[in-house]
Structure 1
Amino acid sequence: MFSKKKITMAYTVEQCTKCGMQVKRKFEEGDILFVNTTKCVSCDGLSMIEKIFGESVDQ
């Protein structure tokens, strides 16, 4: 009867190429798949963007 609005939130998953640690964060404009982004907080290796996806949330 009542329809809920759905909002899609975009996320980026970065994975360290050395230790494999993954970090999920909000998508930022300019994120490109398979590009080295930052240093890993765990081992000082390089993190690479592995996945960009959206999750729907009811409002």
Structure 2
Amino acid sequence: MFSKEKIILAYTVEKCKKCNLERKRKYQEGDLLFAETSKCDSCDGIAVIEKIFGETIEK
């Protein structure tokens, strides 16, 4: 039987400290947990990296 090719895509979840808005984006080299990354789009608060994870896709 043939095995399917597996691809792992890495993602980063950022969460605003002020309004708790979460945003998922593709992982970028240098992302660190709990690092302040950018300003929140909705309230101008500071977004912090909450989690980094991978999703497996089979081709």
Count residues with an aligned counterpart: 59
TM-score, structure 1 length as denominator? 0.97
Q: Which runs of 5+ in 2 are unaligned?
A: none
- Cα deviation for residue 3 of structure 1 reads 1.2
Counterpart for residue 34 of structure 2: 34
The offset of 1:2, in angstroms, is 1.9
**Percent of aligned pairs with the same amino acid:** 61
Cα-Cα RMSD: 0.5
TM-aligned CA deviation for residue 19 of structure 1:
0.2
Say which SS state the counterpart of residue 33 (structure 2) adopts: coil
Letter in 1 for 2:56: S
- State the partner residue of 1:44: 44
Stretches of structure 1 lacking an aligned partner (at least 5 in a row):
none
Q: TM-score, normalised by structure 2?
A: 0.97
For residues 1-59 of structure 1, the aligned pairs below 5 Å read: 1-59=1-59
